[in-house]
Amino acid sequence: MRQAGRSLPEYRAIRGVGTILDAIAQPELAAEITLQPVRRYGVDAAILYSDIVVPVAAIGFGVDVKPGVGPVISEPFRSRADLARLRPLEPELDTPYVLETVRILTGELAIPLIGFAGAPFTVASYLVEGSPSRTYQHTKALMHEDPALWFELLDRLADLAVASLRSQVAAGAQAVQLFDSWAGALDPHDYEHFVMPASRKVFEGIADLGVPRIHFGVNTGELLGLMADAGADVVGVDWRVPLDAGRERVGPSIAVQGNLDPAICLASWDVVEQAALRVLDRNGGRPGHIFNLGHGVLPETDPTILERLVELVHGYQGPARS
């Protein structure tokens, strides 16, 4: 459950006043924040406390993460000259704190640690727009008006993701997730033509590591088949697509992850329980289902609801018979 920590008082108590990038740069703190939701909820895997913009920030692109807003960039990527601001990532030199956090965690955790990176499209959307966007108009304009530059940008971002993911796995991460959170802004044609080749490059670039590769997006109902074809072992399905329909779209050899609506978790337990059981029943007991929320935990979520949710999923015995 991504960003599960944000709803916890113990997170707010130790997070400090700086930006999240400052917190991520402190391995002991980042490891402790990663462990908090694991201890509280008893989930089956941990996700590293970091952010998708860490590699681009580390090579000096000029990125900050504004609380309540997300990544902001003072000088967005708009022309060929900006390519010079995207040099290759040297993880041991540029993000040693991330690797130290992974090492601390691998020593302490009894469950797998999921490392992650931002997918080329989603990171590009922040670099090009300069801040979170609803329309992705600058990103789409670049893609369609200067495809050669677009492909070079995505290629560099794919290389950054590969370097970052490989370093996290070398440090001990046992699974990886590629976050293409905003790919759902595209139609299947544009996704396949302008985005999928770069995401495929990321999956191919880590295939030899032998760790499960999860491909995540939101609003991606029409893209699920393509996201599976990009090279994932697991595809995230958000709550708009019933899990069994999502499974049909990704095909029989791919596992699914999802897909309770995080906003449901703000409701009373009875409502959450019924909605969670609907998700589990839709899976129908088939192997290859990672139960989680379709997107991150909302900060207002009551932690006791999430405690009960984990208990419910762990105790699930299959559809009730009538």
Per-residue binder mask for ligand CP3 (CB under 6 A), 195-234, x = binder:
----------------------------------------
Site stretch for ligand CP3 (CB under 6 A), options 48-56, 97-105, 165-173, 279-287: 48-56
Contact criterion met (CB below 8 Å) for 212 and 233: yes
What are the DSSP E strand ranges found in 112-165? 113-118
156 is catalytic: no
Q: Which residue number, 35 or 277, has a Cβ lying nearer to ligand CP3?
A: 35
Of 61, 77, 97, 116, the one binding ligand CP3 by CB under 6 A: 116
51 is catalytic: yes
* Contacts (Cβ under 8 Å, ≥6 apart) of 190: 140, 143
CA distance 105 to 173: 9
CA-based diameter of the chain, in Å?
66
- Tell me the residue nearest to ligand CP3 as measured from the CB: 181
* Residue 68 found at the interface with ligand CP3 (CB under 6 A): yes
* Residue 70 found at the interface with ligand CP3 (CB under 6 A): yes
CA distance 77 to 102: 30
Per-residue binder mask for ligand CP3 (CB under 6 A), 147-186, x = binder:
--------------------------------x-x-----
* Residue 27 found at the interface with ligand CP3 (CB under 6 A): no
* DSSP 8-class letter at 172: T
Among the listed residues 184, 192, 76, the one whose alpha carbon sits nearest the alpha carbon of residue 124: 76
Dihedral sign, CA of 192, 196, 198, 200?
Answer: negative
Buried b (16+ CB within 10 A) or exposed e, 170-185: ebbbbbbbbbbbbbbb
Q: Which of these is catalytic: 40, 41, 49, 51? A: 51
CB of 321 to ligand CP3, least distance (A): 36
Of 31, 38, 47, 196, the one binding ligand CP3 by CB under 6 A: 47
Q: Catalog residues that contact ligand CP3 under the rule CB under 6 A.
A: 2-3, 5-6, 15, 20, 47, 49-52, 65, 67-71, 116, 179, 181, 295-296
Active site residues: 2, 6, 15, 51, 126
